[in-house]
Amino acid sequence: MIAAREYARFLWRCFRVSFAGDWRYHLWMTALTVVALLGLNAYAKQLVHGLGTAGLSDQVSWGLYIANFTFLVGMAAAAVMLVIPVYIYRNQELHDLVIFGELLAVAAILMCLAFVTVDLGRPDRFSHLFRRFNFPISMLTWDVVVLNGYLLLNLHICGYLVYCAYRRRRPSKLFYIPFVFVAIVWAVSIHTVTAFLYVGLGGRPFWNSAIIAPRFLASAFAAGPAFLLVTLWVLDSYTDYVVPAKAFATLKNIVTVALLINMFLLVCEVFTEFYTDSAHGVSARYLFFGLHGYHALVPWIWSAIGLNTSALLILLLPLSRRPALRNLACLMLIVGIWIEKGMGLIVPAFIPSPLGEIVEYLPTWNETLVCLGIWAFGLLVFTVLVRVTIPVLAGRLTIDRLYSPDYTRRVPVVLDHAQPTPEVLP
């Protein structure tokens, strides 16, 4: 009972800290809340009127929702790129930063689950999935297992480490190290299983390629660390949390190598599609050059290629040592990979249809609002998690200290009635 009360007190104190911040923090949180509520209102309209409010059709049944889902699965898997150098190569300088990667994975998986929910159209029939789970034959059931399993793994790892820091106790390796190594394998599996979902659909030749899974992983290990790079720069610049310089160098190297591999795999796939000139390449021709006067996706894919190529050139040049250019390259490749894995991968597989029909897809305003609302919700969750974690890791919010919400002072208030236990770290 004492432990349960103490943990409840920890959660309550974290909840209170999440509301403390300067005007920039409150402006950011207010903006995210407004967008999330607008998205919720748009989803309510979709519940009333059905998926007719989206730009989907019988010919194109997956669109912006599944595109975001695919991208965010990769963002979640990318947390492993911080775990590997710390726990396999024993880079203790980056130890605390692993938690930020795990927190990003938690927020990304929550957004993935939200995008799957809104894509169902009738979430009240979600129970049918469990009545006829069809495991292990259906790849969809595999995706349900790996996504929820990865969410639980990351919640346990970062939750346990943050709570130990709050208690000022050394974490027991038995309670988190095995889960870390399981999470490394699991991170690869969540994106591989998602790729197999598409590869296994024989009626969509555009996806029937063994290179899809490696491309998914390469793009994920570029976009995820790039997002972490920008996040760590914000923390280092606008909070009193000091990020080691080695963290920026390590993540930049990971992003550069992963983006190089992703671009190489893209060239391999384009060569295969166009050099063979088979009937299976018709979707690729529609994507890159248009087909029979239809070319809605052509500007999307060439914009993605331009953004990724420009980002790669910046990262390869010494100019990328400047934070502004490095952040610009990271943002460019995040947008480029989002287009490449979304509008450039999901939609063209449906065009033309198996009957040869060309029905183009364009997201509606209501569909876009739902997507923006889910992204705002995910960023809201990630911001709160990071906001709570920083004072705990810095030792300003612990069992024997109450962090002052007065940001002009940044002075911890020592509680007289709380004394450190004999197990506290020196």
Angle at 282 between CA 277 and CA 287, to 5 degrees: 115
What does the pLDDT read at residue 85? 66
What does the pLDDT read at residue 415? 33
Note down pLDDT in tens along the chain; length 426 residues.
777 788 888 888 888 888 888 888 999 999 999 999 999 999 999 988 888 888 888 888 888 999 999 999 888 887 776 776 666 656 666 676 778 888 888 999 999 999 988 988 777 777 766 667 677 777 778 888 888 888 898 888 888 888 888 888 888 878 878 888 888 888 888 888 888 888 888 778 888 888 888 888 888 889 988 998 898 898 888 877 778 888 888 888 889 999 999 999 989 888 888 887 776 688 888 888 888 888 888 899 999 999 999 999 999 988 888 889 999 999 999 999 999 888 888 888 888 887 778 888 888 899 999 999 999 999 999 999 999 888 888 777 777 765 544 433 333 333 333 333 333 333
Residue written as token pair 């290179």 = 211
What does the pLDDT read at residue 182? 86
What does the pLDDT read at residue 93? 63
What does the pLDDT read at residue 88? 62
Q: Which CATH superfamily does the domain covering 2-414 fall into?
A: Formate dehydrogenase/DMSO reductase domain (1.20.1630.10)
